[in-house]
Amino acid sequence: MHEDEIQQVLGQYLERDIALDVFRQWFAGAYAHVRQDPDASREASHLCNRIVGPLAEFSRGHRSEDALRAQLRMLSRPFAPIRATVKAKRVVFGESPSRALSTNAPILLPLGA
């Protein structure tokens, strides 16, 4: 099993193409497969390890499904759609720091920044 396959199914869950129960059932099998398959990629193993914690927290009631989805979205590929808006303070060179940081302005960040 490779990371791409896990990312694909994770993406389907994040985009609400499949239900959480479907994703959890599929992931349980994928996780067991990655643990037992000596040919599974290191990336797949690493991704599974990062997914299993948030799923366990959700199962124990320590995380809502929205919080689970947000946590798992951070594990998805950088080109997965992001629905959050980033806002930051604009820095104007040549002005005092307190004045420069007092102006709110949306900024655009390149992916991966």
pLDDT surpassing 60 at residue 22: yes
Domain assignment of residue 32, yes or no: yes
Q: Nearest-5° angle of CA 51, CA 54, CA 58?
A: 135
What's the rounded Cα separation, in Å, for the pair 16 and 14? 5
Domain range for 61: 3-73
Domain assignment of residue 113, yes or no: no
Domain assignment of residue 14, yes or no: yes
**pLDDT averaged over every residue in the chain:** 79
Predicted confidence at residue 82, as pLDDT, reads: 47
Domain assignment of residue 89, yes or no: no
Domain assignment of residue 96, yes or no: no
Domain assignment of residue 79, yes or no: no
Answering whether pTM is above 0.75, one says no
Predicted confidence at residue 39, as pLDDT, reads: 86
Predicted confidence at residue 92, as pLDDT, reads: 47
Q: How many domains does the chain have?
A: 1
Query: H/E element holding 104?
Result: strand 104-106
Domain assignment of residue 80, yes or no: no
Domain assignment of residue 52, yes or no: yes
